[in-house]
Amino acid sequence: MNAATQALPKSGKKPRAARGARQPVDELPVRIGGMEYARTASTPTRLLGFDQALIWVCVALLAWGLVMVYSASIALPDNPRFGRYSPNFFVTRHALWIFLSFIAALLAFQVPMAWWEKTAPWLFVGSLALLIAVLIPHVGMVVNGARRWISLGPINFQPSEIAKITVLLYAADYMVRKMEVKERFFRAVAPIGVAVGVVGSLLLAQPDMGAFLVIAVIAMGILFLGGVNARMFFIIAAVLVLAFAVMIWSSPWRRERIFAYLDPWSAEHALGKGYQLSHALIAIGRGEVFGVGLGGSIEKLHWLPEAHTDFLTAIIGEEFGLVGLLCVIFLFFWLTRRIMVIGRQAIALDRVFSGLVAQGIGLWLGFQAFINIGVNLGALPTKGLTLPFMSYGGSAIMANLIAIAIVLRIDVESRQLMRGGRA
């Protein structure tokens, strides 16, 4: 008989602990995103099934964007160019796209990450086919001199928005498959470089340099996060910067945009390439600290072109002032940081593909918001990129919500693994 058995009373029952004594509990805290949700124990515990805060931030951006699209577009029918539209035309279409995008996001959320990883190359090939189709006469639509849309009856579809998701998925899948050769430059980087180059060539033919810039940054970010040698990464970055500089310098109208950005108030540019930037700055200047009030914008009254799309941030600055702009910046900062945390947690659970996808989405949304806000504030040259979740544009809204659905799927699968289940 061992000592532990001898210590028990004859009844065979363990002695009751003294009153007030602290019982040792076999449980450890589980932290998700820095917040303690539950504790592990011998009995099953229940974690939150999804990131509610992330969903509410996205809903807030969508709702605020819907209000601002209505405010920025309500006077457009007074312009002969939009004379056949009703005052509610753009906000109605925007609301319809949000509804359709929610349905697409719900469907995307049901798809396990294993399927995205398995089909990533084929999805990439499909997006290449769409980018080629948009360049075919009578298939692609020409709007303001750019051939970027495919007409699907009552709605227009922009393939470059879907290409952002497929390139991201393909780059993450490629880095997982080629993890063992990531120290060898040509074997690890050249194939993905060729893929991005092909996509870039198709986008520049539309032309859509803004989408190409975002896709290049996504691919570069995934290469860096995937562990490519730092020296190789900076070499690639230098090559990309040089390539964009050559593209800008070799294109007279792109070069003119740079000159207009440097001096938008000059007589040469104020009514030309610098017109949008100068009126965006006027709108933000009118807003001051607290804004002129919702609906009180003057610049949206046919002074600032594309006020409901690329320059919606300027209208927010005019109607809500510095406070409104800081709220927008904070929401996008929080959103980007939260998505990056979800990606880092997936990598910590040895789900490298899911982690790279989540961090790539965070990089995409954060970078595009940074570019749009920077352009509206005059900190960056004018570039046709919308503000995610907020600007008018159906294809962009759908791509943004599908991306968030994928992030939520990654988060749910990670929580299931931490709960002891299967992803």
Token readout for 393 is 């544009």
Residue ending a domain, choose from 216, 246, 276:
246
Q: Are residues 123 and 97 in the same domain?
A: no
Q: How far apart are CA 203 and CA 334, in angstroms?
A: 30
- Residue 330 makes CB contacts below 8 A (sequence gap 6+) with none
Asked whether residue 399 is assigned to any structural domain, the reply reads yes
Query: Which amino acid type is present at position 281?
Result: L
Interior/surface letters 105-139, b for 16+ CB within 10 angstroms, e for the rest: beebbeeebeebbeebbebbeebbebbeebeeeee
Residue 11 lies in a domain: no
Tell me: do 145 and 237 sit in the same domain. Answer: yes
Count CA atoms closer than 13 A to 98's CA, side-chain side: 22
* Full DSSP string of 124-166: HHHHHHHHHHTTSTTTEEEETTEEEEEEETTEEE-HHHHHHHH
Q: Is 310 within a domain?
A: yes
pLDDT of residue 272: 75
Together in a domain, 162 and 103: no
377 falls within a domain: yes
Q: Mean pLDDT in each 10-residue stretch from start to end of the chain (423 residues)? A: 46 45 44 44 47 93 95 86 82 94 95 94 93 85 77 80 93 81 63 84 84 88 78 76 80 78 78 84 92 91 88 94 96 96 92 94 95 91 87 91 96 87 60
Same domain, 140 and 223: yes
236 and 381 in a single domain? The answer is no
Q: Which of 246, 279, 307 is the last residue of a domain?
A: 246
Contact yes or no for 350/176 (Cβ under 8 A)? no
Q: Looking at the 3D structure of the chain, how many domains does it have?
A: 2
Query: Domain for residue 268, yes or no?
Result: yes
| pLDDT at 323 (0 to 100) | 96
Q: Would 56 be classed as within a structural domain?
A: no
117 DSSP assignment: H
Is 281 within a domain? yes
Q: Are residues 72 and 194 in the same domain?
A: no
Q: Which of 423, 369, 358 is nearest to 33 (CA)?
A: 358
- Please tell me whether residues 358 and 264 are part of one structural domain: yes
Residues 105 and 133 in one domain: no
Q: Which residue has the tokens 């309500």?
A: 74
Within this chain, do residues 100 and 151 fall inside the same structural domain, yes or no?
no
Same domain, 358 and 394: yes
CB 142 within 8 A of CB 93: no
| Residue 85, SS3 per DSSP | coil
Of 188, 216, 246, the last residue of a domain is 246
Phi, psi of 270 (to 5 degrees): -60, -35
Range of the domain at 355: 65-110+251-417
Rounded-to-integer distance, Cα 407 and Cα 350, Å: 16
Distance CA 72, CA 91 (A): 9
Same domain, 352 and 280: yes
Altogether, the residues listed in the chain come to a count of: 423
User: 168 with 312, same domain?
Assistant: no
- Residue 143 placed within a domain: yes
